[in-house]
Amino acid sequence: MREIAPPAAAVVVGIDGSRAAIDAALWAVREAVDRDVPLRLVAAIEPKVSTPADGQTYLQDFGTAECAILQAVTAVESTCEPVKIEAEIVRCTPAQALLKASPSAVMICIGADGLHADAGLRRGGSTATAVSAQAHCPVAIIRGSPRHGTGDPRWIVTCTDGDSGDAFLVARAVEEARLRSAPLRVMRGRGPQSHDDVHDAGKSAAIHPAGDILERSIARWRTMNPEIVIETEELTSGFVDYVVRQAGDIQLVVVGHERRRDVAYANQTPERATLGDTQCSVLIAEPHRPL
């Protein structure tokens, strides 16, 4: 039996014809160029449950998906970055398509608000939640248009909570700060919290046993990356509350995989309070498995 080679590594972007999907593709360009892997644009034709499928309907759906891919390709090519572009149209839900791609993906990028967001369906949010829960790689939920050329002076922010995964998480944040020539702020606290957890905020300033180890790691990263501004700050309230207050100065929030529920919830509240009202993108790190 002939073996089928697994898909090559790529930065994968979910494409649905929305402006948010194009923003995600543009944001992902640097990720692909830096890693020297293709940018793979994936569009999904979702099977219709309410009406029986027929050839004409499928052709129409395929044409719509193809148009969405072409729009994204045009946008990516306009950056003039040396990135190889791949495209794929599959017949399944968007979440299924991205999860299927995740084992070989170095990162998955999704627009925070999909094509149906204006209709109140929040398809992008539900897809992001499903994918971030099960993906084998980092998942970036992109909000707002990335700034190209002169760079983005806003901060990249992450939060540590004194556990063994802190160094892994901060390393991921340092990588993004280097890639985007952005300053990095490492908050020391209990991780992402909404304002429902404010009564616990006093605990956030506790001194963690792993704090000294983390500080030594940060000192090494400063030495290895002298061009990056890396600050540490003690968290005195919930992390989500902090991000909302400082949102105008933040371009990307980097969180650990175990904190994805807090961030996903904040992105999907019906009243769109918290992170949903900001232009902050969120990068959820892949599951950390200590050696």
The predicted-structure confidence for 8-24, as pLDDT tens digits, reads as follows 899 999 999 999 999 99
Phi, psi dihedrals of residue 140, rounded to the nearest 5°: -105, 125
The answer to whether residue 243 is domain-embedded is yes
Cα 169 from Cα 161, distance rounded (Å): 11
Q: pLDDT-based confidence at 200, cuts 50/70/90?
A: very low
Per-residue confidence (pLDDT) for residue 121, from 0 to 100: 40
Q: Is the pLDDT of residue 274 over 70?
A: no
Structural domain ending residue among the three candidates 112, 142, 172: 142
Mean pLDDT of 108-118: 74
> 29 and 115: one domain?
yes
Q: What is the pLDDT of residue 75?
A: 97
Count of alpha carbons within 13 angstroms of residue 280, beta-carbon side: 32
Percent of the chain with pLDDT over 70: 75
Domain with residue 126: its CATH number is 3.40.50.620
Q: Are 275 and 244 in contact (CB under 8 A)?
A: yes
- What are 135-163's pLDDT values in tens digits? 989 999 999 888 765 567 899 999 988 77
The residue-averaged pLDDT of 89-93 equals 94
| Residues of the domain holding 195 | 155-284
Residue 275: pLDDT over 50:
yes
Identify whether residues 138 and 202 lie together within a single domain: no
For residues 77-101, give the mean pLDDT: 96
* Cα gap 195→201, rounded to integer Å: 9
Question: Which tokens sit at 284?
Answer: 């959820």
Residue 149 lies in a domain: no
- Counting the structural domains of the chain, the total is 2
pLDDT at position 291 is 44
